[in-house]
């Protein structure tokens, strides 16, 4: 079996790391680069990894998708705040059967991709990957992989039902595994996204508003209690959403996750969340993907999520204030 040809749209920490893994596993990978283009086209990529460093002295680097061939899988690894660029970036590399895999954080990303690709007249497969990874880009063409690294892959269905595991999903999973990435294939991508939000919603937002690491948040009884209350709101939102879309199917997350995630977070090494890093670096915050979209889905399903709503408004204001002071 030959592996597929991939395009990595956004060679930051996530795109760079998983793209490098795919290439290491034997796939043909095309990287879209911006400020790192000159360096990477000459020197390739370096991954400093807890799981063992590796380098790819030669990669197919592109400054524009216009120079890429059509690919089998487009991997979207931009920050969601840049998704407005996709209708311009993707068409030239989308063959009629090209799949799209988004590795982005948040909720509703696949819906947006589906709406856009339907508008372009095709009905291609869309996949979502939930990356459980601590990684940063630390220099030109250099990614530091600090912890974790596994990926949950699932297929999106336009009717928002569980899509099961298709041969195409299996094949993509195989390419990641060949690159030494631990992969779990999931039946129900939407429920997996709710599950990931149970952690991201409390800790990403509170880390910015309260200016704290995970360890500091867990050590403060009031922030810890807020984190738990936010988790419970996400859990209830997921339950209402599952009941709305798949009545009577028991499509929800187990209550025990709340205690499990709190204990796990308490035991983690002090961790600066991705949103806190974006904030500290003066980058736009992924507020709509991580807060706005799930909040609206929860409300549409009849779940009251007042604390998520409050965090959403606080983060919108912080993001607006930051973008003003930088402009």
234: contact with a second copy by CB under 8 A: no
* Residue 305 vs residues 168, 238, 296: alpha-carbon distances, Å: 36, 11, 10
Of 79, 97, 196, 316, the catalytic one is: 196
Q: Which residues contact 8 (CB under 8 A, 6 or more apart)?
A: 15, 16, 18, 19, 29, 30, 31, 32, 75, 77
Identify residues 181-220 at the interface with a second copy (CB under 8 A): 209-210, 220
303: contact with a second copy by CB under 8 A: no
268: contact with a second copy by CB under 8 A: no
- Out of 22, 56, 59, 226, the residue judged to bind a second copy by CB under 8 A: 226
Q: Can 324 be counted among the known catalytic residues? A: no
- Out of 66, 222, 250, 326, the residue judged to bind a second copy by CB under 8 A: 222
- Out of 170, 255, 320, 323, the residue judged to bind a second copy by CB under 8 A: 320
Cβ proximity to a second copy: between 67 and 211 the closer is 211
Question: Rounded to whole angstroms, how far apart are CA atoms 158 and 212?
Answer: 38
231: contact with a second copy by CB under 8 A: no
Cβ proximity to a second copy: between 113 and 305 the closer is 305
140: contact with a second copy by CB under 8 A: no
Helix (H, G, I), strand (E, B) or coil at 47: strand
223: contact with a second copy by CB under 8 A: yes
Cβ proximity to a second copy: between 174 and 314 the closer is 314
Cβ proximity to a second copy: between 146 and 232 the closer is 232
Biggest CA-to-CA distance, the chain: 57
Beta strand pairing status for 142-155 and 126-139?
antiparallel
Question: Rounded to whole angstroms, how far apart are CA atoms 229 and 220?
Answer: 14
Q: Which residues contact 9 (CB under 8 A, 6 or more apart)?
A: 15, 32, 65, 74, 75, 76, 77, 78, 86, 89, 90
Cβ proximity to a second copy: between 165 and 232 the closer is 232
Q: Which residues contact 167 (CB under 8 A, 6 or more apart)?
A: none
Provide the annotated active-site residues. Answer: 196
Interacting residues with a second copy (CB under 8 A): 209-210, 220, 222-223, 225-226, 229, 306-307, 309-314, 316-318, 320-321
């Amino acid at each position: 079996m030959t592996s597929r040809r991939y395009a990595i749209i956004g060679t930051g920490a996530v795109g760079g790391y998983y793209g490098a893994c795919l290439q290491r596993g034997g796939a043909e990978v095309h990287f879209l680069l911006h400020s790192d283009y000159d360096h990477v086209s000459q020197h390739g990529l370096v991954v400093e990894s807890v799981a063992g460093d590796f380098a790819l002295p030669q990669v197919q680097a592109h400054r524009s998708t216009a120079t890429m061939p059509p690919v089998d899988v487009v991997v979207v690894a931009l920050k969601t705040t840049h998704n407005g660029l996709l209708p311009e970036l993707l068409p030239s590399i989308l063959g009629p059967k090209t799949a799209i895999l988004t590795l982005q954080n948040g909720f509703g990303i696949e819906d947006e991709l589906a709406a856009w690709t339907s508008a372009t007249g095709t009905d291609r497969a869309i996949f979502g990957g939930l990356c459980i990874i601590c990684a940063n880009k630390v220099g030109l063409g250099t990614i530091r992989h600090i912890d974790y690294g596994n990926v949950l892959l699932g297929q999106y269905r336009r009717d928002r039902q569980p899509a099961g595991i298709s041969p195409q999903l299996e094949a993509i999973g195989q390419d990641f595994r060949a690159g030494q990435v631990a992969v779990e294939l999931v039946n129900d991508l939407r429920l997996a996204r709710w599950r990931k939000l149970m952690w991201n919603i409390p800790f990403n937002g509170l880390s910015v508003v309260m200016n704290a690491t995970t360890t500091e948040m867990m050590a403060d009884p009031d922030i810890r209690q807020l984190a738990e209350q936010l988790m419970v709101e996400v859990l209830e939102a997921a339950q209402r959403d599952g009941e709305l879309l798949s009545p009577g199917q028991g499509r929800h997350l187990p209550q025990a996750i709340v205690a499990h995630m709190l204990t796990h977070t308490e035991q983690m090494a002090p961790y600066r969340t991705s949103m806190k890093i974006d904030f500290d670096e003066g980058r736009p915050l992924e507020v709509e993907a991580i807060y706005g979209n799930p909040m609206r889905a929860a409300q549409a399903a009849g779940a009251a999520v007042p604390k998520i709503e409050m965090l959403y408004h606080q983060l919108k204001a912080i993001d607006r204030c930051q973008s003003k002071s930088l402009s």
